């Protein structure tokens, strides 16, 4: 899980710091390689952790719970990131009635592009924050497991 969260954080960090007119292969492609790897590591790891903590007759329920939580967390995280984008963009517009101005956000003027980029980057920084939080939680669990192993060896 710690490795998975590290991959996710690294991928989001690459996208958050990417310059506007950079080639696709420099940061975006690397991020596209890292982030699915994070998902492919976290889902089986979560299933194994939950299944090993429960008796055999409850392991199917544990796998179902992991699948449900993964799907909910994707939806909720996307919703939060969209909210961060929306309010950052509205704040960057600096107008009280941003709803009336949102139709102008589709043009390609330099100022409009910078405002849209600010909202998008804020969403990626939010993802970096979530990834860092996941790394801390996974790191704490790694430390706890290692401490228990050392205590068992000593006993």
Task: Give the torsion through C-alpha atoms of 147, 148, 149, 155, to 10 deg.
Answer: 110
| pLDDT tens column, 78-130 | 999 999 999 998 888 775 455 555 555 566 677 778 888 899 999 999 999 99
Residue with tokens 């996307």: 78
| pLDDT tens column, 28-45 | 999 999 999 888 888 888
- Using CB atoms within 10 A of its CB, is residue 95 exposed (0-12), middle (13-18) or buried (19+)? exposed
Structure tokens, 136: 């801390």
User: What pLDDT sits at residue 133?
Assistant: 95
Structure tokens, 122: 């804020």
User: What pLDDT sits at residue 108?
Assistant: 66
User: What pLDDT sits at residue 125?
Assistant: 97
Task: State the pTM of this model.
Answer: 0.82
Q: How far apart are CA 97 and CA 86, in angstroms?
A: 13
């Amino acid at each position: 899980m710690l490795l998975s969260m590290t991959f996710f954080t690294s991928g989001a960090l690459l996208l958050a710091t990417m310059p506007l007119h950079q080639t696709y292969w420099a940061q975006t492609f690397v991020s596209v390689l890292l982030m699915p790897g994070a998902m492919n590591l976290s889902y089986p790891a979560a299933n194994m952790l939950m299944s090993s903590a429960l008796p055999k007759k409850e392991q199917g329920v544990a796998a179902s719970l992991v699948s449900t939580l993964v799907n909910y967390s994707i939806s909720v995280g996307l919703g939060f990131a969209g909210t961060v984008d929306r309010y950052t963009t509205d704040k960057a517009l600096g107008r009280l009635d941003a709803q009336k101005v949102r139709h102008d956000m589709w043009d390609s003027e330099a100022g409009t592009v910078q405002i849209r980029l600010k909202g998008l980057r804020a969403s990626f920084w939010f993802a970096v924050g979530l990834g860092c939080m996941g790394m801390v939680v996974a790191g704490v669990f790694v430390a706890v497991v290692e401490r228990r192993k050392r205590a068992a060896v000593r006993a």
